[in-house]
Amino acid sequence: MAELLQLAGSIASILFIAWLARFWRLGGDVRIHSEAQARDIAEETLCGFNPVDIAIDKAGIAALLRDDQGRHMLIRRHGVQWAGRLLDGHSESRLDQNFLTIGTGEKTFGIITLNLGEHAPSWASGLRHLNNGQHNMGNTHA
């Protein structure tokens, strides 16, 4: 009988914790859902970065932004938070049909592949000038 009470108490505790997490909206869907959200993340990452062009990965896990000065920023999920980096000559990029793979050269930020659909070639072309003869992951071509 004591074992059944212990089992029932454990199940009740698990259900209560699950309800509490849902009530507090913990572990929610961490994705970029709109250009407005991508702009906000970029502004939090770099004050004054005002994107004029935004491409959001189809899964919403990352976005590529360009401002009016021609700077490119990559934002991506880092756990349940967002991280962003300005791309420069140390950045790596590779185009494979609708997929654009980008690395910042920073090991902690890593490399990410974005599904940009039909817009991938134009973004790859825009990133080409950043490499300026630097070693990259492969041919960046449109």
Backbone angles phi, psi at 85, to 5 degrees: -140, 140
Q: Which H or E run includes 42? A: helix 35-45
Q: Which H or E run includes 112? A: strand 111-115
Residue 64 lies inside a defined structural domain of this protein: yes
Hey, CA dihedral for 131, 68, 51, 45, is it positive or negative? Answer: positive
Give the CA angle between residues 54, 55, 60 to the nearest 5°: 120
Tell me the per-residue pLDDT of 14-45, one tens digit each, with 9 for 90 and over.
999 988 887 887 766 788 999 999 999 999 98
Q: Answer whether residue 138 shows pLDDT above 50.
A: no
Q: Which residue has the higher pLDDT, 114 or 80?
A: 114
Query: How confident is the prediction for the chain on average, in pLDDT?
Result: 85
Q: Which domain holds residue 74?
A: 35-131
The arithmetic mean of pLDDT across residues 51-58, rounded, is 95
Residue 97 lies inside a defined structural domain of this protein: yes
Residue 16 lies inside a defined structural domain of this protein: no
Q: Which residue has the higher pLDDT, 140 or 117?
A: 117
Hey, CA dihedral for 37, 38, 42, 45, is it positive or negative? Answer: positive
Tell me the per-residue pLDDT of 78-94, one tens digit each, with 9 for 90 and over.
877 899 999 887 778 89
Residue 110 lies inside a defined structural domain of this protein: yes
What is the pLDDT, as a whole number, of residue 131?
Answer: 57
Give CA–CA dist 107/16, Å, rounded: 40
Q: Which amino acid is at 110?
A: G
Our count of domains for the chain comes to 1
Close Cβ partners of 43 (under 8 Å, ≥ 6 residues apart): 49, 50
